């Protein structure tokens, strides 16, 4: 398989490293920031970097990871599904609802898999709540408020907070 990571900031680098460790196929990286691309070259010689997105489409990636600022998620997602790629979008899906229905329509028409990264959906407690709701054990939910967080200096020790 061929994987394209669009955006190689912190989360993009994590996806790149995971794909390299898994040895799942070819890895292409696109970013407009040349300094970030230079950082990626150091990770592994099998990674091909691009600063022109049109050039990377010629490589015909199968799966695209979208790891850019939220306001750009839908733009890149639509372009990727139009090219026939499956997509994984970092959370949140977008900063607004504009063009989300367009993305869904194209993805359905092209029969492409789409996923928004939200690792809490796999957390045992969330799964349990979902199961209890599905079985109507809890009853009708009127309201819910859920908070989760992380102390960023522990999560990203290389950043100056």
- What are the tens digits of pLDDT across the range 44-75? 668 999 999 999 999 999 999 999 999 999 99
User: Higher confidence at residue 100 or residue 46?
Assistant: 100
DSSP H or E segment with residue 91: none
Instruction: Give pLDDT, residue 68.
Output: 96
Q: Within this chain, do residues 34 and 84 fall inside the same structural domain, yes or no?
A: yes
Q: Say whether both 79 and 127 belong to one domain.
A: no
Per-residue pLDDT for 30 more than 90?
yes
pLDDT value of residue 145: 85
Confidence (pLDDT) at 83: 97
Residues 33 and 96 in one domain: yes
Look up the pTM and report it: 0.82
Percent of the chain exceeding pLDDT 70 equals 99
**93, 35: one domain:** yes
pLDDT of residue 118: 84
In the chain, how many domains are there? 2
Best CA proximity match to 75, nearest among 84, 66, 85? 66
The verdict on 34 and 53 lying in the same domain is: yes
Cis peptide before 137, with omega less than 30 degrees from 0?
Answer: no
Q: Which domain holds residue 129?
A: 123-155
Are residues 63 and 134 located together in one domain of the fold?
A: no
Average pLDDT (91-101) is 95
- Give the model's pLDDT for residue 93: 94
Say how many C-beta atoms besides its own lie within 10 A of residue 5's C-beta. 28
Least confident of 64-68, 85-89, 125-129: 125-129
Mean pLDDT over all residues of the chain?
92
**Does 154 have pLDDT greater than 90?**
no
**Sequence-ordered list of residues with C-beta below 8 angstroms from that of 33, at least 6 positions apart, any chain:** 8
146 is a domain residue: yes
pLDDT for the residue numbered 153: 84
Same domain, 54 and 22: yes
Of 36-40, 82-86, 154-158, minimum mean pLDDT range: 154-158
> Could you give phi then psi for residue 24, rounded to 5 degrees?
-95, -10
Tell me, yes or no, whether 23 and 83 share the same domain: yes
């Amino acid at each position: 398989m061929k994987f394209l990571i669009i955006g190689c900031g912190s989360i993009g680098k994590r996806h790149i490293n995971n794909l390299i460790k898994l040895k799942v196929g070819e890895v292409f990286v696109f970013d407009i920031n040349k300094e970030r691309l230079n950082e990626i070259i150091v990770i592994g010689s099998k990674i091909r970097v691009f600063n022109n997105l049109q050039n990377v489409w010629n490589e015909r990636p199968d799966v695209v990871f979208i790891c850019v600022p939220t306001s750009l998620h839908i733009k890149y997602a639509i372009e990727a599904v139009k090219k026939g790629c499956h997509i994984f979008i970092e959370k949140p899906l977008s900063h607004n609802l504009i063009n989300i229905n367009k993305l869904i329509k194209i993805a359905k028409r092209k029969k492409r898999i789409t996923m928004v990264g939200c690792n809490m959906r796999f957390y045992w407690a969330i799964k349990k709540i979902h199961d209890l709701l599905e079985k109507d054990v809890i009853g009708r939910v009127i309201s819910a408020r859920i908070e989760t967080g992380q102390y960023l200096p522990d999560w990203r020790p290389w950043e100056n907070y």
